[in-house]
Amino acid sequence: MRIMTDLVLETSNLTRFFGEKCAVYRLNLKVPKGVVYGFLGPNGAGKSTTLRMVVGCLRPTYGKIKVFGLNVFSDRVKVMEKLGYLPEKPVAYPYMTPMDFLVYMGRLSGLTRKEAVEKARELLDFVGLGRLAYSKVNTLSAGERQRLGFAQALINEPEFLVLDEPTSNLDPVGRFDILNKVRRLAEEKGLTVLISSHVIPEVERVSDYVGIINNGLLVVQGRISDLIAEEEDEYLLEVSDSKKLLERLRKEDYVIEVRARDHKSVYLKVDLNKSKALWLTLPKILAEEKLALYGFRPIGDPLERLFLRRLGVAR
């Protein structure tokens, strides 16, 4: 997927107090066009409060929010035409059917009745609710209502999709399905997606960028590939002769620990401050020792390590 540099969302010193409690403080989010941006943080970190301000449901105490360069509040109508939103707890009229509800929401977004009906049918099939199109909303399970909320967020064909914990009421199969659909929407339709979660593997799986928030403060943000590269310090190498590689790596000053697991695999821990030297010397070592490289992978989850370190939970 092509990553653009222009920003769909930009916040400046975004802050929200509830009485004396500060929920979000001086938040500067930057979401580039055409990416899936994972907004990651523990429960109570300020994710939902931030998203409610981004979509204009909650006014900040101070700070600015721009979506497509427009002010979310003074240019609200123009912003809403481009934006789709799934709240943490989606709501639909219980006496309506999913079809009726989506048609109603489509009409509110400016579609003709014919367009709204066609779009509703398409989206119900897309989210897996086609067979329940004419059931009452109050008979749906929590997971089915979550899927309906996802469909509602797409009814106006948004360019910017904001999803607050979109998999919270779904079983493992449902979570997998919805995350796949989010990724498809980004890749095939070019949607920009801001998705909040406290589940690290979910964010890592679908996102290009990540922002980590804790206690209302933005701890770090950036392209995931760049951020986790700074956290990868343990590797497993599979080579044709582990003994030869072991002898050479022990002489390198960026190596903290190295040991053979068996005659073809080597565990390596490097100094993060000197890790660039690994990429410069390893190819040379392999060539000089005439070693075949069968596998090279980081050990553990770098994004999880980044998350825990930035929150002060792990070193």
Average pLDDT, the chain: 91
3-state helix, strand, coil in the chain (%, to 5): 40, 30, 30
Question: What are the CA-CA distances from residue 54 to residues 3, 10, 59, 75, 298 (Å)?
Answer: 22, 9, 9, 13, 36
pLDDT of 4 > 70? The answer is no
Query: DSSP of 253-284, one letter per residue?
Result: TTEEEEEEEETTEEEEEE-GGGTHHHHHHHHH
What's the pLDDT band for 2 if we cut at 50, 70, 90? very low
pLDDT of 208-218, one tens digit each? 999 999 999 99
pLDDT of 299-312, one tens digit each? 767 787 778 777 77
Contacts of 49 (CB under 8 A, 6+ apart): 16, 23, 24, 58, 216
What's the pLDDT band for 1 if we cut at 50, 70, 90? very low
Q: Which two three-digit tokens encode residue 46?
A: 């300020």
pLDDT of 80 > 50? The answer is yes
Per-residue model confidence (pLDDT) at position 313: 64
Per-residue model confidence (pLDDT) at position 27: 97
H-helix segments, the chain: 47-54, 76-82, 98-108, 113-127, 142-154, 172-189, 200-206, 224-229, 242-249, 276-288, 302-310
pLDDT of 186 > 60? The answer is yes
Per-residue model confidence (pLDDT) at position 3: 41
Domains of the chain, first to last: 7-228 (3.40.50.300), 233-310 (3.30.70)
Per-residue model confidence (pLDDT) at position 274: 81
What's the pLDDT band for 230 if we cut at 50, 70, 90? low
Per-residue model confidence (pLDDT) at position 7: 94
Average pLDDT of 129-145? 95
Q: Which two three-digit tokens encode residue 255?
A: 């190596």
According to DSSP, the residues that pair with 160 across neighbouring strands are 83, 192
Between CA 229 and CA 234 the distance in angstroms is 11
Per-residue model confidence (pLDDT) at position 204: 85
